[in-house]
Amino acid sequence: MRKNAKETFKEIANKVEEHEFYSDMPKGYKRGKTKFVIVTGSVISGVGKGTFTSCLGTLLKLAHGLNVAPIKLEGYLNYDSGTLNPFRHGEVFVLDDGTECDLDLGTYERMLNQNLTKDNFLTAGRLFKTIIDKEREGKYLGRDVQFIPHVTGELKNFLRELAMKSNADVLLVEIGGTVGDIENSYYLEAMRELRYEEGKENVCFVNVVYILEPSSLGEQKSKAAQLGLRTLMGLGIQPDIVVCRSENPISENIKEKISIVSNIPVPRVVNINDTRNIYKVPLELKGMEIDKAILEILSIRGKLKSVPDFEKWKKLVNMVGSAKKEVMIGIAGKYTNVHDSYMSILKALEHTAPYLDAKVNVKWIETTGVNKNNVKKEMEELDGLIVPGGFGVRGVDGKIECIRYARENNIPFLGLCFGFQIAVIEFARNVCSLKGANSTEIDPNTKEPVICILPEQEEIDGLGGTMRLGGHDVLIKEGTKTHKIYGKNKIRGRFRHRWNLNTKYIDVLEKNGMVFSGFAPQKRIMQILEVPKHSFFFATQYHEELTSKPLEPGPLFRELIRSALDHKASKK
- Is 545 catalytic? The answer is yes
- Is 559 catalytic? The answer is no
Please count the CA atoms within 13 angstroms of the CA of 294 that sit on its side-chain side. 29
Question: Across the beta sheet with 526-530, what order do the strands follow?
Answer: 358-366, 325-333, 384-387, 413-416, 537-540, 526-530, 515-519, 468-476, 490-497
- Through-space distance between the first and last CA atoms of the chain, rounded to whole angstroms: 85
Q: Are 157 and 21 in contact (CB under 8 A)?
A: no
Strand, helix or coil at 518? strand
DSSP 400-448: HHHHHHHHHTT--EEEETHHHHHHHHHHHHHTS--TTEEETTT-TT-SE
506, burial (CB in 10 Å: exposed 0-12, middle 13-18, buried 19+) = middle
Active-site pick, 417, 426, 432, 497: 417
Active-site pick, 74, 545, 559, 567: 545
Q: What is the DSSP letter of 148?
A: I
- Is 543 catalytic? The answer is yes
**Sign, Cα dihedral of 198, 200, 203, 206:** positive
Active-site pick, 543, 544, 559, 567: 543
Separation between Cα atoms, residue 406 and residue 386, nearest integer Å: 10
For residues 371-403, one letter each, b for 16 or more C-beta atoms within 10 angstroms of the residue's C-beta and e for the rest, the string is eeeebeebbeebbbbbbbbbeeeebbbbbbbbb
Q: How many CB atoms lie within 10 A of CB 133?
A: 10
Separation between Cα atoms, residue 382 and residue 327, nearest integer Å: 8
H helix or E strand, kind and range, residue 72 = strand 68-74
Which residues are tagged catalytic? 417, 543, 545
